[in-house]
Amino acid sequence: MFYRRTMNEMAQVLLPIHILAGTIALLCAALAVSSEKGKKFHVLSGRTYFWCMVAIFLTAIPMSIISSNIFLFLIAVFSFYLAFSGMRFARNRKGVATTLDWVAVSLMILSGAGMWILAGIYFTNNDSQYIPLLVFGFLALFLGYGDYSSHKNKTATGKERLAKHLTNMLGGTIAVITAVLVVNPPFDPEWVWWVLPTVLVTPVIVRWNKKTLSY
């Protein structure tokens, strides 16, 4: 009883921090996107966004454990990887992966596999949340394998490095937007709000990447 009460009190402390970090992250993402790339303000906005994503991750993990929410745990890993790798691609101009990069991309791929396994469980229980799990699981595996290949072949330099920085940073932003929308979805089915930001923003990322790679 005491343990459960302590855990609930901890969650109540973590939740406001989680929400505040998410709010600042969205603001900084908007500022980074709208500012000139590579300039001081863009870099500052990006760094602040990253550390907010760290705070989101460090609060989401214990909250997911307290609530026994595997879904939230996997989404937290997925979201943080995108912000972490996005920052790494911005800084790592030589394209040589470190041990930390390999560990991170491995966790991303494992989170994608975990989402697909959980989606199968949800599907058998007639829970429509299997749909966003399939979508995010696919993205985790697709992006994770792409980053793995870049690390292995040391190709994340020049334009490709910038494209990956853009893709992963905006991918993390999609995750934050999604988290905001699913708190109080205006109407059912809830899974629509889980996948809507991905459907709307992904074409923008693809177009932006084509523009970056064509320079």
Interval 117-151: pLDDT, tens: 999 999 999 998 899 999 999 999 999 999 999 99
pLDDT, tens digit (0-9, with 9 covering 90-100), for 149-173: 999 998 888 888 888 988 999 888 8
User: The whole model's pTM is what?
Assistant: 0.89
Compute the distance between CA of residue 118 and CA of residue 84 in angstroms, rounded to an integer: 24
**Cα–Cα distance, 54 to 51 (Å, whole number):** 5
* 2: pLDDT strictly greater than 70: no
H-helix or E-strand spanning residue 40: helix 40-66
Q: pLDDT-based confidence at 177, cuts 50/70/90?
A: confident
How many angstroms separate the CA atoms of 98 and 16, rounded?
34
Taking CA 105 as the corner, what is the angle to CA 104 and CA 107, rounded to the nearest 5 degrees? 65
Confidence of residue 83 (pLDDT cuts 50, 70, 90): very high
Q: Which of 7-16, 72-81, 129-138 has the lowest mean pLDDT?
A: 7-16
- Name the DSSP letter for residue 178: H
Q: CA 137, CA 134: separation in Å to the nearest integer?
A: 5
CA gap 119, 53 in Å, rounded: 25
Bond from prior residue into 189 cis (ω within 30 degrees of 0): yes
By the 10 Å C-beta count (0-12 exposed, 13-18 middle, 19+ buried), 128 is classed as middle
For the CA atoms of the chain, what is the radius of gyration?
Answer: 17
